[in-house]
Amino acid sequence: MSALIKTVERELSLRLRLILIALFSLSHVHALDFTDAVPPDELAVAIVSAMSDEEALAQTFMLGWIGTAPSPLILDWIRQRRVGGVKVFGWNTDDTLALAKSIGEMQNTALADSASRAGDNFHIPLLVATDQEGGWIRHVKGLTSETPGNMAIGASGRPADAYWSGYYIGRELAALGINMNFAPDVDVYTNRDSVIIGPRSFGADPTAVAVLATAFVKGQSAAGVIATAKHYPGHGDTRLDSHGILPRIDAPFETLWERELLPYRFLAQNGLPAVMSGHLAFPKTEAGDGAASLSPWFLGEVLRQRIGFDGVVITDDLMMIGALSGAGSLAQAAKQALMAGNDILMFSSTPSLNASVWTTLLAAMKNETAFQARVRDAARRVLALKLRYLRGEDAVPLAPDIARIKEQVPDTEGAAFFLDLAARSVTLVKGELPLNPASAGRVLLVGEYGEFLRAGRRAYPNALTCRYNALSPSLIRASDTIIFCLADADGLPYLQSLRASGKRVIVFSVLSPVYLDEVPWVDGAIAVYSYAPVSFTAGFSALLGHIPAEGRLPFPLDAPRWTAP
């Protein structure tokens, strides 16, 4: 009798598996509309229960690759291991059409039957992710729009600007087959020396950051793209870069709750689908000296329980030094990350198929009941996310339409919007406007960006131009007004050299305007927040008086530190 029961159980299990395979293999072409009646969470539970350990573990991996075309190794991971996702980095993106073809090839590989695994394929599409925050951080280059960025949105102060920024950025990504974006950056701009965050932040007010980030997420979701808030718990109060070190942020939890964590609290109540955990240490909290990305307290007790976030958590790149600090090997860091509560492990390069990061985790699944349960729970969350976003008529296409990409990217509606946003965000920091050609006299444009010099010559046709290292006494003597483009600390010595020149000096600040604190002696200053062409156009339009400079600084120059109300 027991043998008969086992036979029936095996047959039922096989039938369930075949049904689930059919559901996923056909859902991407919308052939089984009745599956929409099954809630994604329930369907994800059923699929995970039918998966092997290898299949469940693979859903937690997201891998980068080197080169324009998919490498043989990344295709092996997709074909043989059925990896859950791939990450598009800047080094993959110079040729936009080639990128779209690569994404289509990888998705087709994921959905294809495998000769070595016949009858075992769930045909689950890939999460295809990138970092397209807008402004400074634009991993997908090529044809995509250069935009004013988050700090420009903070300067305009309009949630509608955040919504449409997320929407148009998302619409371009969707045209390329990219269905997940590691944006918005919701780091509060607390430490003005934070060169790694700077203009990526919406500003210094946690409430404003929360409102603008929520609008951005809504816009991106309207374009069909999965938004991911980062870098949890918050990267804005350190000048260090977690790519090369594990930063320590000496803030107590009470401060974090009202400052860094406030945007996440707001977003969790408004449908945020994903969070990226950052490699940051908060030694004055219960997490101690370790990375928050590996902390069960930060990810479990705080994010899941106190904040109530129920979406997917993905690590920042596990190959960053900050992730490995104190963890030991990459495999150990990956295991800690999953046990802490991350659902996706992100790697910037492709490990070999049988590298220790895979074999160690698979062995732990087979030998440790708690770890196996955690991995299956992570896979369930990943599958639920895919079922929620990658099916239906409005989903991002799995295979991009190559013939239409040049019609869709850059987005023509988006181009008009981003110019308007740049115009709304121009901020008069000091002095008076306009500075028309007649009152400016002989103009000297000094800056490192070619687009700044070209836009400046359009505004002041008779202007002289030079780069920093070509700034000479003869050029200074030949000018009445010097318009100096300042982007970072490297430009400050050249700007300071003009102090005793006796000339009128106007600073054209791009990126974060924090460096204006160092030059209180200048005659005037305006701020834009990116080096996108639209930002230079808007800035010179404001200088000429063609548009008002109605933006407001998203942080106070004279109060660098946030204090609790």
**Which among 185, 316, 317, 343 is annotated as catalytic?**
316
Question: Among 520, 454, 524, which Cα is nearest to 484's?
Answer: 524
Backbone CA torsion sign across 163, 204, 285, 182? positive
Whether 377 is catalytic is no
Question: How, if at all, do strands 281-282 and 288-291 pair?
Answer: antiparallel
Backbone CA torsion sign across 127, 128, 129, 132? negative
- C-alpha angle with apex 324: 317 to 272, nearest 5 degrees? 40
CB 375 within 8 A of CB 56: yes
d(CA 334, CA 342): 9
CB 193 within 8 A of CB 242: no
Sheet holding 226-232, edge to edge: 312-315, 274-277, 226-232, 180-181, 127-130, 85-87, 61-63, 345-347
Question: Among 46, 81, 57, 110, which Cα is nearest to 387's?
Answer: 46
In this structure, the number of other CB atoms found within 10 A of the CB of residue 351 comes to 18
Q: Is 54 exposed, middle or buried (0-12, 13-18, 19+ CB in 10 A)?
A: middle
Q: How many residues does the chain have?
A: 565
d(CA 386, CA 389): 5
**Which among 76, 120, 123, 243 is annotated as catalytic?**
243
- The region that residue 4 occupies, defined by phi over 0 for left and psi between -120 and 50 for alpha, beta otherwise, is alpha
Question: Among 564, 528, 477, 556, which Cα is nearest to 203's?
Answer: 556
- C-alpha angle with apex 456: 455 to 462, nearest 5 degrees? 125
Cα distance between the two ends of the chain: 71
d(CA 281, CA 366): 32
Whether 243 is catalytic is yes
Q: Determine which helix (DSSP H) or strand (DSSP E) holds 152, and give its type and residue range.
A: helix 150-156
| Residues with active-site annotation | 243, 316
